[in-house]
Amino acid sequence: MNSTTIHAKRSRPAFNWREDLAASRNLSSNQIQAFGFVVGWFESWRVRMALQPGRGSAREFWKVCVLAKQREDWQLTQWAEGMRWYLQWFEICRENGGDGKSVPERLRAAVYSAGARRGLSNETRKSYAGWLVRFGEWAGSARRVLDQEAAREWLTELVASGKRSFSTQKQALNALVFFYKDVCGYEEVELRVKFRKPKPREPVILEIEEVMAVIEKLEPKYQTMASLQYGAGLRLAELSRLRIKDVDLKRGVLTVHQGKGDRDRTTVIPKCLTQTLEEQVAYSRQLWEQDRDNQVPGVSLLGMELKFPKSGTKWTWHWLFPAAELSTDPASGIRRRHHILGKVYGAAFRRAAEEAVPAKRVTTHAFRHAFATHFLEGGADIRTLQELLGHADVKTTQIYAHAAEIGNDNGIRSPMDKVSFPKGLQNGEESQEVPCLRNFPDLPNGRSCTGGAAALGQFGKRLPKTNGGGVHFSQ
């Protein structure tokens, strides 16, 4: 299939409001620019809200977006004229067999459809569709969207802006490759864009006391989730999507399906969580039985419905951490029981972390970092940790070995730890001179060290005296 075939398969003619607006002979250049602004604003909002084009969505946009804040009279007049132009254009499209849908909207629908056929998760479809919507808004026309040279130019601008991480750049590339291969049917896609790879960042490491403090500050309904995330070293998505069949409490083994890179793996279940998880399983069973009694549709199988059509109603496929209320599945429109959403748990986690560990920037992923670091500090080998974390490359795991070496009392130590510091600096006694630093040679400006304050760079001064109520320096 190629671009010609795609055009031939269209059931309706495609109209582009941007092209028609730019070609309007009865409008001035200022009007074209002003109308383009408000209609572009409306179309972006409408596509994001998944609303159909027409008078109803235009009226909702005017109420929610335009009238949401104080506007100048000239703005309201100009924007109203622009929306009237759009509605007239939309009626002409309908009269000529068009549907008035924009290029970004058609791209979004095509990606969602192809993603469902290929069995992509809803999150992946949503991500790819979002990138194609941005690309479609930038390209402006269907003809340019099908041009790989335009895609290469857009990706280059994305990289050059310097505001996108390496993973975000790769995600945009993957979305375009999926579009050209799985939607357009191109056999070869050559975008040839060199990404800007950032320098590696050191992970935020929590001490075990800090981990427990965060868990204690969490709402009770999230404490079991947080405990298991730390105890098994799970990513947020892996934690929220756990099913009953993934938990083997007798063997203490947790199975992670479709983790990062679509890889499966097993990890450990802490023995101290056995009773807590048994109670969580019992709670999940209660909700499952309630749903069966009320004939609620089965849980989502995340793209495996065709392979296991009846498994959604079976107990083994039920969520380990189910949501308390039913919700509408955005992928299918079915009202069913979903798992606790990652963003809901993440928001609760951040609130608890800000209260428990205010000095550190902590997200849910910090518990995975803490698991890895504490695991290595306990004497485990890095290859075992790699398997538990599900890393494809051991280089990714090695960052935790470095963190463990620095933080471990038996690992890397500062040379200052070899200095015998005065007791008064710690327990409030009178300051004392440090014998090992006395008369230290080659000090700046020919000074000699006569007191322990030299260790703090205060040459010729004495160490601070502390009395419990503050710090005072004596000359």
Q: In sequence order, what DSSP letters do the residues of 100-111 get, joined into one string?
A: ---HHHHHHHHH
**Which of 103-107, 129-133, 319-323, 431-435 is modeled with the greatest confidence?**
319-323
Question: Does residue 378 register a pLDDT over 50?
Answer: yes
369: annotated active-site residue: no
SS3 state at 56: helix
Are 407 and 203 in contact, with CB atoms under 8 Å apart? Answer: no
pLDDT per residue as tens digits for the range 58-110: 999 999 999 988 999 999 999 999 999 999 998 888 888 777 777 888 888 88
From 243, 336, 337, 391, the catalytic residue: 391
From 134, 152, 164, 260, the catalytic residue: 260
Rg of the chain over all Cα atoms, to the nearest angstrom: 31
> What's the burial of 305, exposed, middle or buried (CB within 10 Å: 0-12/13-18/19+)?
middle
Rounded Cα gap, residues 13 and 94, in angstroms: 10
338: annotated active-site residue: no
As a whole number, the mean pLDDT across the chain is 80
Are 371 and 206 in contact, with CB atoms under 8 Å apart? Answer: no
H or E element that contains 338? strand 335-339
Percent of the chain at pLDDT > 70 equals 79
pLDDT per residue as tens digits for the range 286-316: 999 999 999 999 998 876 776 777 889 999 9
| pLDDT score of 408 | 57
- Give the confidence band of 402 by pLDDT, cuts at 50, 70, 90: low
Rounded Cα gap, residues 240 and 320, in angstroms: 8
Angle at 168 between CA 232 and CA 135, to 5 degrees: 140
Q: Which residue has the higher pLDDT, 101 or 210?
A: 210
Angle at 159 between CA 154 and CA 165, to 5 degrees: 125
Using the structure block, give the residue that is written with the tokens 């026309």. 141
Ranking 8-12, 122-126, 288-292, 293-297 by mean pLDDT, the lowest is: 8-12
From 217, 243, 338, 368, the catalytic residue: 368
From 108, 235, 336, 337, the catalytic residue: 235
Closest CA to 322 of 301, 303, 337, 343: 337
Q: Which residue has the higher pLDDT, 266 or 475?
A: 266
User: Which residues, listed in sequence order, are joined to residue 266 by a DSSP beta bridge?
Assistant: 255
Question: Does residue 377 register a pLDDT over 90?
Answer: no
Rounded Cα gap, residues 44 and 134, in angstroms: 9
Q: Which residue has the higher pLDDT, 372 or 307?
A: 372
Sign of the CA dihedral with 140 first, then 144, 145, and 148 last: negative
Question: Does residue 411 register a pLDDT over 70?
Answer: no
From 126, 181, 314, 365, the catalytic residue: 365
Six-digit token string for 304: 């495996």
N-to-C CA span, the chain: 85
Helices (H) and strands (E) counted in the chain, each on its own, are: 19, 7
- Give the confidence band of 166 by pLDDT, cuts at 50, 70, 90: confident
pLDDT per residue as tens digits for the range 42-54: 988 888 887 888 8
Closest CA to 342 of 449, 436, 242: 242
- Give the confidence band of 112 by pLDDT, cuts at 50, 70, 90: confident
Closest CA to 180 of 135, 121, 137: 135
Rounded mean pLDDT, 157-177: 80
| pLDDT score of 415 | 61
From 222, 230, 345, 400, the catalytic residue: 400
Q: Residues near 228 by Cβ (< 8 Å), separated by ≥ 6?
A: 234, 239, 254, 269, 270, 273, 277
**Which of 158-167, 340-349, 436-445, 454-463 is modeled with the greatest confidence?**
340-349
Rounded Cα gap, residues 370 and 381, in angstroms: 16
391: annotated active-site residue: yes
Are 231 and 371 in contact, with CB atoms under 8 Å apart? Answer: yes
Ranking 195-199, 224-228, 400-404 by mean pLDDT, the lowest is: 195-199
Percent of the chain at pLDDT > 90 equals 40
| pLDDT score of 475 | 37
Strands 247-248, 253-256: pairing is: antiparallel
112: annotated active-site residue: no
Rounded Cα gap, residues 59 and 309, in angstroms: 41
Ranking 289-298, 384-393, 456-465 by mean pLDDT, the lowest is: 456-465
374: annotated active-site residue: no
Are 252 and 266 in contact, with CB atoms under 8 Å apart? Answer: no
Rounded mean pLDDT, 214-223: 95
Closest CA to 347 of 363, 335, 334: 363
CB-facing half-sphere around the CA of 418: CA atoms within 13 A? 6
Are 331 and 122 in contact, with CB atoms under 8 Å apart? Answer: yes
Are 205 and 407 in contact, with CB atoms under 8 Å apart? Answer: yes
Rounded Cα gap, residues 338 and 345, in angstroms: 14
Are 155 and 132 in contact, with CB atoms under 8 Å apart? Answer: no
Within its chain, how far is the Cα of 406 from the centroid?
A: 29
Rounded Cα gap, residues 272 and 215, in angstroms: 15
Rounded Cα gap, residues 422 and 425, in angstroms: 6
> What's the burial of 150, exposed, middle or buried (CB within 10 Å: 0-12/13-18/19+)?
middle
> What's the burial of 192, exposed, middle or buried (CB within 10 Å: 0-12/13-18/19+)?
exposed
